[in-house]
Structure 1
Amino acid sequence: MSLSVVVLISGSGSNLQALIDQSLKGKLDITIKAVISNKADAFGLARAVQANVPTKFINHKDFSTREEFDSELQKAIDQHQPDLVVLAGFMRILTEGFTRHYDGKMLNIHPSLLPKYKGLNTHQRAIDANENEHGVSVHFVSAELDAGAVIIQAATEIAENDTADSLSKKIHTLEHTIYPLAIKWISEKRLAYASGKVMLDSELLPETGIRYHQDLN
């Protein structure tokens, strides 16, 4: 049975497009029930419409507190009864109650090799710290920002001439590979989550998840 998914976005939706493309190619057995954005002009909404996926816009500025916005967002998500909620560039700090409601059922992708560089401006921070490599992590969402259990990471070398922009482009390519892969494992029931721990094929993953290589499937 196809894994039902709701995707939350705030911007271009390139990771959403990667999921749509993988699904259309038959490489990912998911049904995207809806795409929800807190930004009316998010290009990801147009991507969803093009793929005949229902969309919804909920303006966070219409709510006086994070709790009120998250409550409305939760109602919109739960109408679809998804197996999984996927954050794909959703630029909102979520409340503890919201994250608890979707514990073990909500994923995020973060542009760093967690636990390094939580938060924003990760590419420049990695360059400024003279790191040799930088990367991206897919993780379950917890109440603490960018601190949930990591499923998979992918890394790239930081070249001498790399800028935040050039590094961002490298990272996006990795994102579009490992996010669908993590969701594929969930759809195939190979991935299990319990009490903040992740198991793949019944083997406990390390705190930094599994490191991506081309032989993974």
Structure 2
Amino acid sequence: MGLFSRLGDIINSNLNAMLDSAENPEKIARLIIQEMEDTLVEVRTAAARAMADKKEMEREIAHFTATRDDWAAKAELAIDKGREDLARGALIAKQKCETEIERRHHAMKTAEEAFDRRQEDLTKLQAKLDEAKAKHRALVMRREAAEQRIRMRSQMYDGRADEAIIRYNQLERKVDEMEAYADTIRGREPSLEQEFAELEQNESIEKELAALKARKGKAPAKKSEG
């Protein structure tokens, strides 16, 4: 069973309400359009059939009219010839033709009314189909616009993430450089062993200097206090 059970349901349907209540409006819009297009084909077929019936009735009316006129002429001829019996038979045949003509006129009127109804249905259905297609296009545009916004935001966030990673790497490199520079500075300062070695060397030099002065008869200089 389709979305619409009768042609009137389609023509009188509230597309906004149907789409607003749908879980997937775009999908429902496609289904509505498909069913409307199928119904449009059926209505056009019915209209064509009604037109064909009308034309067939017109041909049959023309045929029975010609036959009726022929029997009327024969009835007159029979009267002229004094053949009342033949005239009576011709008039009976003429009446049968008139009955068939009347039936065909009634059938043709029915076909015309059916054709007019189908044409009216086609006009309304086409308008409804155009409305459904317009709503479907609007839904597609809204979806594509939303997807585009999502892509742009995703790209923006990805760009921010890349920028943050670059800044972090730069900061990490800066820290590495600072640590390396600090290590270099520490390498220039004398170690504890070096300082003691220098003290021992200085003491040895002072002793040797004092001995040299003693040999030369000079007293060693006293260090000033304070």
TM-score (norm 2): 0.19
| Higher-Rg member (1/2) | 2
> Which of the pair is proportionally richer in helix?
2
> Which of the pair is proportionally richer in strand?
1
TM-score (norm 1): 0.20
